[in-house]
């Protein structure tokens, strides 16, 4: 006798009862982009509904989020002044450190994660100190300032750091730096498998972080390399990461499954700006039901 799968699909209550995957507010981290200044809430044309906000507006937004039941955010900074080494990211009074302090003071239960990178803070838009001879980022010199940036965030009261620059050895260096200063319980969510993806385009509009020359293919991963993608995440686990990540999400579902099979650590997936923008554009064109496709995504 054949199996009647439809028997368990006959009404909404039954479908809900046997549903295998359930999403809640606890499953999501909400991105916020904090910009120097006051009274700023600027919508980004390539990402409808996403804003650059000054700190006063960020605080209002955090209040709105908690009323909705959203208690976890990740911060990206857009400083007023950028330079070759991203000095604002290393300053105790920089835009991210100031934002963390203000948010934790006003909303102590908001779980604040900070993106740990330099692309938003450098005048060249790359993710660290440049090696001009090879027109790329100097890996080991960047590790030194990355550790300093992590300590700035830790002292400001952040709940978790999320290094995204794809520097070799970054997790080991960060864990050692944090532990040496007593931050042994501060978790690291590593952008462990981050591809050099064309899907990041709109993010660079909102974060003002596009490279002024070249690209990021010497440090972010080749989208064609599946085995290397697994190795990157496994290596970060060995170095001390607490949570791993695959970014982007939708184009790399096979990699997500492979990484899930290779580790027992919590795994974060990043639905990136290009994925979001495509849904918004398709909805505007009238070719999809945005709410349904968003939930399916």
Give residue-wise pLDDT tens across range 194-240: 999 989 877 767 666 666 666 778 888 999 999 999 999 999 999 99
Q: Is residue 154 a part of any domain in this protein?
A: yes
Q: State the residue range of the domain holding 73.
A: 24-296
Dihedral, CA atoms, 120, 124, 125, 131, nearest 10 degrees?
A: -110
User: Which of 42, 247, 280, 284 is an active site residue?
Assistant: 247
Q: Is the peptide bond before 248 cis (omega within 30 degrees of 0)?
A: yes
d(CA 22, CA 25): 10
d(CA 121, CA 197): 21
Q: Is residue 15 a part of any domain in this protein?
A: no
**Is the Cβ–Cβ distance between 153 and 161 less than 8 Å?**
yes
Structure token pair of residue 16: 């809900």
Q: Is residue 262 a part of any domain in this protein?
A: yes
Q: Is residue 5 a part of any domain in this protein?
A: no
- The fraction of the chain above a pLDDT of 90, given in percent, is 78
d(CA 223, CA 181): 37
Q: Is residue 1 a part of any domain in this protein?
A: no
**Is the Cβ–Cβ distance between 51 and 30 less than 8 Å?**
no
Which CATH number characterizes residue 163's domain?
3.20.20.70
User: Which of 35, 82, 101, 194 is an active site residue?
Assistant: 194
What angle do the packed helices 170-180 and 226-239 form, to 10 degrees? 20
CA angle 63–267–275, rounded 5-degree value: 70
The pTM of the full predicted model, rounded to 2 decimals, is 0.93
Number of domains composing the chain:
1
**Is the Cβ–Cβ distance between 76 and 119 less than 8 Å?**
no
Is 247 assigned a catalytic role?
Answer: yes
- The fraction of the chain above a pLDDT of 70, given in percent, is 96
Q: For 98-147, what is each residue's pLDDT tens digit?
A: 999 999 999 999 999 999 998 888 888 788 888 877 778 899 999 999 99
Q: What is the pLDDT of residue 211?
A: 66
**Is the Cβ–Cβ distance between 163 and 190 less than 8 Å?**
yes
Q: Is residue 8 a part of any domain in this protein?
A: no
Which of these, 139, 145, 190, 143, lies nearest to 164 by C-alpha position? 190
Strands (E), 68-116: 72-78, 111-116
Structure token pair of residue 236: 């970060």
Please give the average per-residue pLDDT across 39-65, as a whole number: 94
Pairing assessment for the beta strands 30-35 and 47-53 based on DSSP bridges: parallel
**Is the Cβ–Cβ distance between 105 and 63 less than 8 Å?**
no
**Is the Cβ–Cβ distance between 241 and 171 less than 8 Å?**
yes
Which of these, 26, 102, 3, lies nearest to 60 by C-alpha position? 102
Q: For 240-253, what is each residue's pLDDT tens digit?
A: 999 999 999 999 99
d(CA 67, CA 48): 22
**Is the Cβ–Cβ distance between 259 and 187 less than 8 Å?**
no
Q: Is residue 16 a part of any domain in this protein?
A: no
Between residues 74 and 84, the one the model is more confident about = 74
Place of tokens 């050099």: 196
Q: Is residue 17 a part of any domain in this protein?
A: no
């Amino acid at each position: 006798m054949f199996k009647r799968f439809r028997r368990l699909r006959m009404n909404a209550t039954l479908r809900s009862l046997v549903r295998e995957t359930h999403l809640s507010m606890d499953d999501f981290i909400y991105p916020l982009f904090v910009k120097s200044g006051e009274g700023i809430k600027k919508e980004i044309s390539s990402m409808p509904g996403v804003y650059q906000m000054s700190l006063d507006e960020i605080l209002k937004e955090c209040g709105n989020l908690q009323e909705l039941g959203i208690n976890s955010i990740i911060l990206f900074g857009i400083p007023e002044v950028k330079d070759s080494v991203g000095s604002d990211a290393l300053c105790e009074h920089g835009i991210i450190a100031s934002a963390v302090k203000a948010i934790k003071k006003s909303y102590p239960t908001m779980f604040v994660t900070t993106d740990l990178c330099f692309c938003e803070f450098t005048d060249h838009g790359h993710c660290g100190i440049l090696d001009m001879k090879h027109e790329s980022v100097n890996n080991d010199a960047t590790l030194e300032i990355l550790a300093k940036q992590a300590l700035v965030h830790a002292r400001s009261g952040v709940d978790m750091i999320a290094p995204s620059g794809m520097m070799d050895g970054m997790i080991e260096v960060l864990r050692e730096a944090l532990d040496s200063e007593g931050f042994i319980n501060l978790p690291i969510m590593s952008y462990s498998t981050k591809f050099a993806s064309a899907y990041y385009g709109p993010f660079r509009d909102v974060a003002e972080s596009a490279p002024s020359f070249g690209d990021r293919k010497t440090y972010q991963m080749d989208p064609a390399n599946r085995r290397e993608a697994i190795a990157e995440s496994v290596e970060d686990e060995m170095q001390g990461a607490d949570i791993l990540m695959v970014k982007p999400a939708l184009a790399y579902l096979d990699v997500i499954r492979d990484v899930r099979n290779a580790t027992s650590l919590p795994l974060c997936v990043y639905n990136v700006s290009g994925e979001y923008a495509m849904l918004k554009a398709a909805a505007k064109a009238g070719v999809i039901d945005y709410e349904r496709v968003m939930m399916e995504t």
